[in-house]
Structure 1
Amino acid sequence: MGMSGRTRRDGVIFLLLAVGGTAAAVWVAYRLDLQPAGVVTAFLPSLGSLYLTWAAFRAERAEGEAGREAPQVADQLAIAVRGQWEAEAKVRRISDPYPLPVSWHAADPDLAESWPLLREMASQWPSGQPSDPSGWADGPAGLAGAGEQIADVFLRRTPTRRLLVLGQPGTGKTVLLIRLLLALLGERAEGGAVPVLFPLASWSPTEQSLDAWMAERLARDYAGLGGPARGSRADRSSHARTLLERGLILPILDGFDEIPQPVRGQALAVINASLPPGQALVLSSRVAEYRDALTPATGVPIRLVGAAAVELRPLAAADITGYIRRDAGGSGTAAARWDPVIRRLGTPAPVAGALNTPLMLFLARTVYNPRPGEHDATLPDPAQLCDRIRFPDSAAVRTHLFDAFLTAAYRPHPRYPCRWSPERARQAHACLARLLTRTLGGTTDLAWWQLHRVLPPRAPQLAAGAAVGALAWFTAGVMGRLIARVAGLDSGWLTGPPAGIVAGLAGGIAGGIGCGLAAGLTAGVAEGLTNALATGHSQWLMTTTANGLAYGFAGGVVGALSGRLTARRTGPAPPSRPRWSWDWRGFAVGLASGGALWFSFRPVFGPVAAGIGALVNAAVYGLAGGAVGAAASTLSAGRPHPAPAIRTQWSWDWRGFIVGIVSGPTVGVTHWAVLEIQARITGEPAYTYSDMLAFVCAYGLAVGLARGLRGKPADLATAVGPAALLAQDRCTFRKLWVTVGLAVGVAFLLCYGATYLLNGGLSYGITRGTAHAEGLALNPAHILVRGLAYGATIGFAAALSQTAWWNYSLARHCLALHRSLPRDLTAFLADAHERRGVLRQVGAVHQFRHLDLQHHLATPTRPDEPPAATPGVPRPRWFGHTRHQPGP
């Protein structure tokens, strides 16, 4: 989508203000010989950014006021939901060869409300009777039915339109809900409520309300719902919240039994409290787990308010016979192979008790029936299921089918060649099942952006910091020198800014104190070694390492605070320490970081003055670390793991921008003040006032820019799958890097360029260096490389802080290295879902075909399977390192 006319006009005005203001200030400085004009000029570029901020805020509010009405949003959401579940029904082969005739009857009376009470409640709903009373069933027995009648049972026979779907494991509850959802969409009126299926396994009722959790799921699975609703704040779930508040979402809650047992009763109470009277609802569960939640060992019994209940029946022998013969071709050798099994259906034989659910029937057809192009002679014989010695009971038959399923799913396919052998696929799926069951807390949602949890907590920070540090060393050192030499601007090695300083300040934006320290130390050590080799002076290593450590800590505090202030939560915050509590660990790290600058100051100012400067820095950094260390460390543990991003847009957050404007002066003024003290003691030249102002302005704008670019929702009529979400997140990463990098680079060029011109750089260049330039510390080569180094590094750090692709890449490579997962994990998951039927897709996450399959794979059953230890990599030792030049 092209840039709007309003955006183009704002961009032109921004450019005119920045360039025109700078030119006017230069003319005033030369005309009136006003040295203070440097101060004014240093801040002039911020006028353009302030205008851009105001313009973006105005456009955002206009967009919100012109937003779509909730019923129109619901209509577009219905298109996305229909497309999503029609595709998923095809992948799950629900109609291949034809839909199984699943039937049900009324559940036990103690599991539902009494029928007279249901009729009375329906007649007294605040919003009126949900349906025509003439169509209501006369009693619970009237809810019995089969197949497509589920929609009629819910819409017309149930007075309150609140239905419990209960059943034993594998009886087809989820598939029946999908059929109900598609049927409801077919009968939905324009502007009506949209049925949406919510898997309950990822909901924690003790940490998040039902409304907040559903809004979060909606905004993630249907990315367009993250846009601003009419008159609402532009947070990530505003459209979703509006639909929920107006009753335009019909929740179909699947898998109540997958909620942890201790909180199921509380979950039921939260559902009752969250959904008002008159709100239609469908809830599915296994029978025993739901019954246990109704009658807890301690506490008051509870039940789902206003709900009727049905229970799925096992498949009849005639239905199993017809279905399995039809899947084998209807007649011929392939169908005849099932005769020994068919003769035992309807008897007490173990095989009959095992094949009476849709799940087991699906596994059996996958294992024993040939695909088009296959010959049945190459497949195992289903008659082996009748062996009473090998399979003494139904549980043994089910275990065998689970074991044989993966081998059958990954056998050579006539149409879809497989990149992974059955053994490799089994090992990978077993690893994934253990990740879900043990490492990720027992969830069924395999979300790619949560795989970072298999790593040690600090590993993503360290890896991001190392990448930022390497990039800063490359741009500030290697590229800086090459560009300067090609342009003939400078022949020396030290053209660029100190890489440790650049990396530390940028790394803090990416991930708080830990990332800032890792980035500063990586760049400082690399820079020190490079400079030592180039100049032959070994003291460079200590100098650059000290710079990296100190500025890594300072940048980490800035990044942590700005990130914390701009963080948006969709639910209640978990309990933590007081927000501004004193942190002795942060105090100690701050003292060490500030004191390390003695190694940086000593070559220029001598040991005494360097000691005084280091003490001042240590005191400032120690106080900062103690005061904000608790908040920063809390953020550091969570900030490097953002949710996936969709697109980018200018969406200024005033809090982040103000923090950036304040943090720039904090870092710059502290450094300048320390150098000024040392200069007065030793008589050495200090860090110039104008250079300090230029850095203050540029770095403040850089942090504001890094926090100002946010994710943008996608089309409402599109459901986002895992692979598409990953591709969008990776694309957003590149766009953020380029956009923020260019903006930051321009900011540094303008600020330092204005300082250079006002301090006599123009006349100095025209006269080829014969004119006197008061306080001229930087030449064009230095300014150019500063713009490149800070722009590329801060842009990269901003992209890391707002996208999830980086952490996912780390996790999948570590898992591939340590647990034999495929390196191309995305392709493996997509193939397992689309071609093999091992996984299913629910919104933006994958799940195993059935919870029992996940549990089976998570439990090693063979001696050659790897141990069930939590996957991960050794925790790195990250604390410890950090160049010099007169300033950042």
Structure 2
Amino acid sequence: MGAAVRARRVGVLYLVLSVGGMAGAVWVTLRFGLPVAQTVVALLPSVGGLYLSWAAFRADRREGGEDRRLGVAEIADRLAVAVRGQWDAEACVRRLNDPYPLAVAWQPADERFAESWPLLREMAENWPSGGASDPDGWAVGPAELTGAGGEIAEVFLRRVPTRRLVLLGGPGSGKTMLLIRLLLSLVAEREAGGAVPVLFPLASWNPGEASLEEWMVARLARDYTGLGDPQAGHAGQVGHARALLEHRLILPILDGFDEIPEGFRGAALDSINAALPLGQPVVLSSRVTEYEETLGPACGVPVKLSGAAAVELRPLDPADIAEYLSRDAGGGETVAAARWEPVVRLLGTDAPVARTLTTPLMLFLARTVYNPRPGEQAAALPAPADLCDPARFPDPVAIREHLFDAFVPAAYRPHPRYPCRWSACQAEDALRYLARHLRQTAGGTTDLAWWQLHRALPPRTVQVVTAVVLGGVAWVATAGVGRLTALLAGLDSGWLTGPPAAVVGGLAGGIAGGIGCGIVAGLTGGLAEGMTNALASGQPGVLTITIANGLAYGFAGGIVGALSSRLTDGPRGARDTGTAWAWDWRMCILGFAAGAALWFAFRPGYGPAAAAIGALGNGVVYGLAGGAIGARARSLAARRPGAAPTVRTVWAWDWRGFTVGLASGSAIGITHCAVLRLQSLLTSVPSYTFATMLSFACAFGLAVGLVHGLKGRPADLATAVGPSALLEQDRTTFCRLWVAIGLAVGGVFLLCYGIGYAVHEGIPYGLTRGTTGSGTIRMGPPHILDRGLAYGITIGLAAALSHNAWWYYTLARHYLAMRRRLPRDLTAFLTDAHERRGVLRQAGAVHQFRHIDLHHHLGGPVLDQDPEASRASLPGPRFPVSLMRRH
């Protein structure tokens, strides 16, 4: 049975049980003459949770059925629409056709880089049908591959027999620009159901960690969200991206082979040959020197792309350069165009400026720096004639550095149509920080992904701030909502109507961030609750009680949350190497201390002797739990991957989370009940009843299971989601998850406590709850309603935080803005840098610097300050530091 089918059946079972439980609660109310109005009011929020859960389940089933009905060819057709829209927009943003497309020309590359032409023809003739082009259009020899501009599609589709091409060129020679033109031509000529050309930037691939196929699947699922499949990792389930690759309906255009570090290029090319066997069309671009090194390595076997022809881009023609610069400046006899005369006279000579302005990249930088925009005065800009000064610029390297230095200030100078919120200095500082962040903190990747920005924060900062927020929300949900409900219901229980903030905050913190987050959240909630009660009652001793509760229940909630969250992440049955069960003395001592701290909570109600026995019992149980599973829980929590962006909710039920929640809830409830029973034998203070323990255990288990029953999932097969759109979708999904899971969890607590109340005619609570007295209060419908709201609000928020990336991105951008590293509205800054300034480019769901050389220029050299420490825990393209320095 597939995992998706099991998830739906469990979802239906949950809905049936919940509805049956509500019906039973109503029957008990009517049968025993209980207050109907209060019971109905207490159960109303569960209706909302059930409805939202059913709506999510129904939408998932409907969309899942639609996905199953779609054939692989139909999925490819939808993907082609997304690819064309994406790169049409990107060509416009990069100004590839402004003022007109540059006529980039190429010629056959050195014969060392390609297969011999007779061998290419022989390979193509022996391939299965569909892999090779029409023999009537094949070139007679490499010389016929020469061309320029839009002829690249003709060369690839018809002149190259094997449809496998290596595109070589120098830095900034226009390789990516030509590949975009090729991609758009291939999409335009594509027949329905045919292969879809997709551009893959190789800079983000580490061949030592993932095969080419695995990396392309992940890249497709990220850039085209509908290709992702949440069940793809389970046995018997194949995602759309993988299916397209298996059916050869993806035509890979691999850009930037040279951006892979030197020590990995041979392995990378060998992996490409293995993943894309003969008969599979492919295009690969690289700088000449870097590709040549793979053909003649210092050690190892030479490698080249099998069955491929090769062409090399030529420098731009001086006449084309002069015409292009003049046309971009207005053309004709304009003042702006005349400013280029000193430069034009030197084109075609050995002057440094003439040797520099031979590539599309340098032309783009030069026109951005020196040509005025509509509405600007040319006299206010620097003069292009400065580039001809041999004293300032003695060689091409000096001119390149000057153009890179001047590019960002020129891109951010005042624009008559697009006013900028950031000065050139602010923008340059932010871009330099981002470039250094990618090279030093993010493992050397070129992909600027907003959901990975939290890596720039100290890990403890993320955990502590998240825990403090959850602890504060737990206090508001328990004390604030409880006090309001008490006033409306006419109760006089001070601020103690709701559940303990430490218990709620500890469980929520554990779900969101593991043991450390649970302890801090529990302490925060307990401290806030204690201060509130101390100020309201004038009893400072209350603060000691609530802090003790915070430490104890924060530790317990942290273990439960860490285990349940990790067990429901990733493929079922995956082996967790390095996390074998082992005794952890540090966690054992911490658990014993957390349980023993309850002496301060028990002492006011039970006295020192009975409190010592109760604290000792809790300390032993918590110590044993911490020693036995603490190491496992800490290791699994530390290895949890960062939250990924999502675009909608989906049922993803997993029995493991439900089992862990039910078992841990029962263990905590039984332990607490047993300790209180033992204390009640030594004193006259009544204990909790079995109904109280059972209600808490069932509610606790169902709540933890529900947290992992709804998750975020990407969903649109025909859309290439950009960074800003993906952020907005993730934020919307965050709110939906908070509401849906919050209502569902609240409904579960209302249901369990409501049944316990109806059967037992009231549940006692209030023992050791922030009071120096020893009395208890009978829990009625208002108290049950408070518990449903408090647990629902806080645990719903924790679940949304653990399934979405928006919160961590928000935390990171505010932290970096406070340190004056990045603008506060970072999303708007990145969008402006891409769409208005041309500093960044967009590759699917991530931003990149317009050119790798610009990235390196802004990032500066890689620092030697403990680079391994900053990269040890980061996923992505992690290469050895020595290779990164050489690269």
Partner of 2:204: 202
The amino acid across from 2:149 in the alignment is G
The amino acid across from 1:820 in the alignment is R
Q: How big is the shift at 1:498?
A: 0.9
Task: Choose 114-123 or 366-375, whichever is displaced more.
Answer: 114-123
Partner of 1:141: 143
Which residue of 363, 366, 380 maps to 2:365? Answer: 363
Partner of 2:467: 465
| TM alignment of 1:74-223, pairs within 5 A | 74-126=76-128, 129-223=131-225
Structure-2 change in CA distance of 1:108 and 1:673 (3 Å): farther
Q: How big is the shift at 1:59?
A: 3.8
Partner of 2:440: 438
Partner of 1:515: 517
Give the CA RMSD over aligned residues.
3.2
Residue 601 of structure 1 aligns to a residue whose secondary structure is helix
Query: 2:69 and 2:597 mapped to 1: Cα distance?
Result: 54
Partner of 1:882: none
| TM alignment of 1:205-604, pairs within 5 A | 205-227=207-229, 238-331=239-332, 332-568=334-570, 576-604=577-605
Structure-2 change in CA distance of 1:648 and 1:444 (3 Å): same
Q: Deviations over 1:543-588 (max 9, x none)?
A: 2112111211211111111111211269998x85133343343333
Q: How big is the shift at 1:678?
A: 2.6
Q: Compute the TM-score of the two structures, normalised by the length of structure 1.
A: 0.89
Query: 1:174 and 1:702 mapped to 2: Cα distance?
Result: 51
Query: 1:100 and 1:107 mapped to 2: Cα distance?
Result: 21
Q: How big is the shift at 1:701?
A: 1.3
Query: 2:124 and 2:231 mapped to 1: Cα distance?
Result: 32
Q: Deviations over 1:440-475 (max 9, x none)?
A: 122111100001111112222211111100000111
Which residue of 18, 29, 39 maps to 2:21? Answer: 18
Residue 535 of structure 2 aligns to a residue whose secondary structure is helix
| TM alignment of 1:541-690, pairs within 5 A | 541-568=543-570, 576-639=577-640, 641-690=642-691
Q: Does 1:693 align with 2:685?
A: no
Query: 2:784 and 2:145 mapped to 1: Cα distance?
Result: 78
Structure-2 change in CA distance of 1:230 and 1:642 (3 Å): closer
Residue 708 of structure 2 aligns to a residue whose secondary structure is helix
Structure-2 change in CA distance of 1:373 and 1:64 (3 Å): closer
Q: How big is the shift at 1:819?
A: 3.8
The amino acid across from 2:464 in the alignment is L
Structure-2 change in CA distance of 1:507 and 1:494 (3 Å): same
Contact 1:57/1:651, CA 8 A, preserved across alignment: no
Q: How big is the shift at 1:405?
A: 0.7
Q: How big is the shift at 1:112?
A: 2.2
The amino acid across from 1:137 in the alignment is A
Structure-2 change in CA distance of 1:606 and 1:116 (3 Å): farther
Q: Deviations over 1:673-692 (max 9, x none)?
A: 22223323435322211011
Contact 2:746/2:788, CA 8 A, preserved across alignment: yes
Contact 1:68/1:230, CA 8 A, preserved across alignment: no
Partner of 1:884: none
Q: How big is the shift at 1:639?
A: 3.6
The amino acid across from 1:816 in the alignment is A
Query: Aligned pairs, how many?
Result: 837
Q: How big is the shift at 1:65?
A: 7.8
| TM alignment of 1:708-787, pairs within 5 A | 708-761=709-762, 777-787=778-788
Query: 1:116 and 1:25 mapped to 2: Cα distance?
Result: 87
Residue 148 of structure 1 aligns to a residue whose secondary structure is helix
Residue 458 of structure 1 aligns to a residue whose secondary structure is helix
Contact 1:10/1:52, CA 8 A, preserved across alignment: no
Structure-2 change in CA distance of 1:120 and 1:128 (3 Å): farther
Structure 1: gaps of 5 or more residues: 1-5, 32-40, 763-774, 874-888
The amino acid across from 2:599 in the alignment is W
Q: How big is the shift at 1:10?
A: 9.5
Query: 1:167 and 1:212 mapped to 2: Cα distance?
Result: 28
Query: 1:796 and 1:234 mapped to 2: Cα distance?
Result: 33
Query: 1:462 and 1:419 mapped to 2: Cα distance?
Result: 33
The amino acid across from 1:445 in the alignment is D
The amino acid across from 1:357 in the alignment is T
Contact 1:66/1:230, CA 8 A, preserved across alignment: no
Structure-2 change in CA distance of 1:369 and 1:869 (3 Å): farther
Q: How big is the shift at 1:261?
A: 2.2
Q: How big is the shift at 1:63?
A: 2.2
Query: 1:789 and 1:329 mapped to 2: Cα distance?
Result: 66
Query: 1:298 and 1:494 mapped to 2: Cα distance?
Result: 73
The amino acid across from 2:95 in the alignment is R
Partner of 2:766: none
The amino acid across from 1:162 in the alignment is R
Q: How big is the shift at 1:53?
A: 12
The amino acid across from 1:382 in the alignment is P
Query: 1:77 and 1:619 mapped to 2: Cα distance?
Result: 58
Contact 2:11/2:653, CA 8 A, preserved across alignment: no
Partner of 1:38: none
Q: How big is the shift at 1:198?
A: 1.0
Structure-2 change in CA distance of 1:469 and 1:249 (3 Å): same
Partner of 1:766: none
Structure-2 change in CA distance of 1:12 and 1:466 (3 Å): closer
Q: How big is the shift at 1:517?
A: 1.1
